[in-house]
Amino acid sequence: MPASPIDRETEEALIPLSALQHYLFCPRQCALIHVEQLWAEDAATAEGRLFHDKVDAGRAETRPGQRVARGVALRSVALGVTGKADVVEFRGRDHLTPFPIEYKRGKPKAHRADEVQLCAQAMCLEEAFGVPVPEGALFYGETRRRQGVAFDEALRALTRQTADAARSMIASQATPPPVHMPACRRCSLEALCQPARLEAPPSVARWLAAQIGA
């Protein structure tokens, strides 16, 4: 059951699924990527990109008991997001229950960004197929483990709330000021964001006067 077309304005207001994850990691990172269109590749992002290319390039296959689809294009009008699922298994006797699997290069994290991204995919699948999607899985490249995720009401609420917050921030086209935190060291955009310097920047006029010895 394919999704039906939506009006153009709604379609254009959809934000990428990845923005939810970026927003939970750091709202400014989300704005730098999705509002200011900045991107910086570092070793981690390059590995992630290659990792996903490999996952997405796998072929669709049908095995007894399930059908597997890769690189599935998704959207949800309710959440206002659009994106792609790495892998969706269609389970059950009639292959009617979608089970999304998202591949992550690294390892499980303390924050819930990966679960939110997966939950958003599940909500997209529910909207497209009109069936409940109760669970999915995250596969981590570093641990080579699949971790089941149940889409309970708390996770769905967090996903809706994150989607709303990210969507309104992107719509406002404003970039929030940086907050310098330990996680900044893991961010490929650190050099473009300059959280240490710009968190509480000096008055430039006064700084300039000091520099030239006025």
Partner 1 sequence: MRRMLNTLYVTSEDAWLRKDGANVVVEIDGSERGRAPLHMLEGVVSFGRPGASPALLAACAEAGITISHLDPNGRFLARVEGPRTGNVLLRRAQFRAADNPTRGVPIVRGIVAAKAANQRTVIRRALRDHGDSLPGGGREALEAAERRLTDVARRTLAATSVDLLRGLEGEAAQAYFGVFNQLLRTGDPAFVFGGRSRRPPLDRVNALLSFFYALLGHDCRSALEAHGLDPQVGFLHSDRPGRASLALDLMEELRPVLADRLVLSLINRRQLAADDFTVEDAGGVRLNETARKRVLVAWQERKRDELTHPFFGESMPLGVVAHAQAQLLARHLRGDLDGYPGFVWK
Q: Which of residues 20-49 bind partner 1 (CB under 8 A)?
A: 35-39
Residue 153 CB, nearest distance to partner 1 (Å)? Answer: 37
Please report which helix (H) or strand (E) contains residue 104, including its range. Answer: strand 97-104
Q: Which of residues 137-166 bind partner 1 (CB under 8 A)?
A: none
Residue 21 CB, nearest distance to partner 1 (Å)? Answer: 21
Residues 6+ apart with CB under 8 A from 160: 79
Token pair for 184: 């900044």
Q: Which stretch binds partner 1 (CB under 8 A): 64-72, 83-91, 154-162, 191-199?
A: 191-199
Residue placing its CB nearer to partner 1 in the complex, 34 or 75: 34
Size of the site for partner 1 (CB under 8 A): 25
Nearest to 26 by CA among 202, 200, 193: 193
Token pair for 209: 């006067």
C-alpha–C-alpha distance, residues 127 and 133, integer Å: 10
Residue placing its CB nearer to partner 1 in the complex, 122 or 169: 169
205 binds partner 1 (CB under 8 A): yes
Q: Is 63 helix (H, G, I), strand (E, B) or coil?
A: strand
Terminal CA-CA length for the chain: 71
Which residues contribute to the site for partner 1 (CB under 8 A)?
A: 35-39, 173, 175, 177-178, 191-192, 194, 197-198, 201, 203-205, 207-209, 211-214
